[in-house]
Amino acid sequence: MGGRLAGRPFVGVYASDLKRALETAEVIGRALGVKPEPTRALREIYLGEWEGLRTEEIAERFPQAWAAWVEEPDWDVVPGGEGAAPFDARVGAALDEILRRHKHGDVLVVTHGGVIQVALHRIVGRPSRGLFPFRIQNASISLIEKRNGRMVIGGVNDIAHLESSLITEVGPG
């Protein structure tokens, strides 16, 4: 990814402070000659009692909550979880602060799929609530642009820079 982004001047570089995202941002940053700013608000949603569990374990330990999730995904059914509104508010505030700091120029944000989903949902004017219609693969690039004062989605899940052996999800077709 560093090679893909090389030569592009970034006025700011931010990353979730969680290990995998921050390490990824640091590797990219070294290639670009910039240091990322660790940002707690860019963390993935906190899944409470589901945190760290596989799907099968969740279904076994929390059958009612899991059944509700399967019926209609919603962060608010996750026992002890962060919840949809707090997650959306946290991510929205972080993105608004980044935009406030950088009125012009390109900003790189290295974060998690759920955070990207919330950002994309904000642009299309819909709450995510746990339903993620956008495919977001690890090390993919999603582009959000500001044009004439409006936010526009310029691309989602771009993985053209990855070697085929690194692509973990393949769509139908």
Q: What is the CATH number of domain 2-46+82-166?
A: 3.40.50.1240
What is the DSSP code string of 145-160? EEETTEEEEEEEEE-T
In the chain, CATH 3.40.50.1240 covers: 2-46+82-166
Q: How far is CA 5 from CA 1, 74, 113, in A?
A: 6, 35, 19
> What is the tens place of the pLDDT at every residue in 7-39?
888 999 999 999 999 999 999 988 888 899 999
CA gap 93, 90 in Å, rounded? 5
Q: How far is CA 166 from CA 84, 109, 148, 155, 170, in A?
A: 31, 21, 37, 20, 11
- Helix (H) or strand (E) holding 76, with range, is none
> What is the tens place of the pLDDT at every residue in 35-91?
999 999 999 999 999 999 999 999 999 999 999 999 998 999 999 999 999 999 999
